[in-house]
Amino acid sequence: MTDTERKIIAIDKIINELNEIYQGWVEIFPFELDMFKHLKEKYKNELPIIKNNEALYYKDLNEVHINFYSPKTFFRYLSQLTMSILGSINTLSLYDDGKIDDIQKHKLEIILNNRKTEIRAQVSRTRYQKPEYVDYLLEWFEKEEIFIDKIAPFFKQNDDSPVEKKVPAKWYALLHIFKINAGFEIAFPLNENDQFDYKLIKQFAEDNYPVKNGQGFYRAFKEFYGVSEKVINNSFGSDYKEKLIGLTEDKDLIGYIKS
């Protein structure tokens, strides 16, 4: 057996081992939750087993060296990835975006998927100890249930009172983008890192638009500022102009939106 053949066998072994670890993560992560469904295909079709997605070419040796994760560091990477997802998508972010219509249905979904995650973690077959990301998931579920219980009373309406549907903050962010493009508002300044200032935009949204928390406004503004109309259509729907017009009484702005 040549050195090249030995290297190929060793690489195949590494890839298979890391793939097994990754598929275990995909299986356990609660992609069935409505809030995570849009991420399922993305992560299902990935295999991020190379550090920083980089391959180094050594000219003198005429060799390409690929820096694979070790099983230990790959578990650490998956734990960090889990924390990143859970930190950006949760009940609070859904509330900020006006995406919770039925709080009891949402809580039931959280409870059921919590149990699914517990069962999958128990029956998972691996020669490694319980991954740290499992603890992060179970702790997240526990805190989500506590948070839902705290906010649930505020979703109750008197039988005689009309139910007012909350307009998601992202719509006000899009409306403000149109105002900037029309010249009715000045653009937000960039900070020293050439990024939009989170605190400034969040506070501006809370002061000028009917949003309780400007976090959703900031995320949407950052995501959709300067994008094409096709991107807006895909994210807001082809009738987005009609909905925007419903948020303002400014005739000049309405004329700009229509045009």
pLDDT digits (tens, 9 = 90+) for 196-248: 888 899 999 999 998 887 888 999 999 999 998 888 988 888 889 999 999 98
pLDDT digits over 177-210, tens only?
Answer: 999 998 999 999 988 778 888 889 999 999 999 8
Scan for tokens 């096709």, then name that residue: 230
Q: What is the pLDDT of residue 148?
A: 94
3-state secondary structure of 65: strand
Write the CB contacts of 139 (distance below 8 Å, at least 6 apart in sequence): none
Closest to 250 measured CA to CA, from 171, 194, 178: 178
Number of H helices, E strands in the chain: 12, 2
For residue 124, name the pLDDT band (cuts at 50, 70, 90).
Answer: low
Average pLDDT over residues 13-18: 90
Report how far apart, in Å, the C-alpha atoms of 104 and of each of 12, 146, 177 are.
Answer: 48, 13, 34
pLDDT at 160: 45
Over range 43-60, report the average pLDDT.
Answer: 71
Domain ranges of the chain: 3-155, 169-258
The CB-side HSE value for 143 (13 A sphere, CA atoms) comes to 11
Of 43, 72, 55, 44, nearest to 11 (Cα)? 55
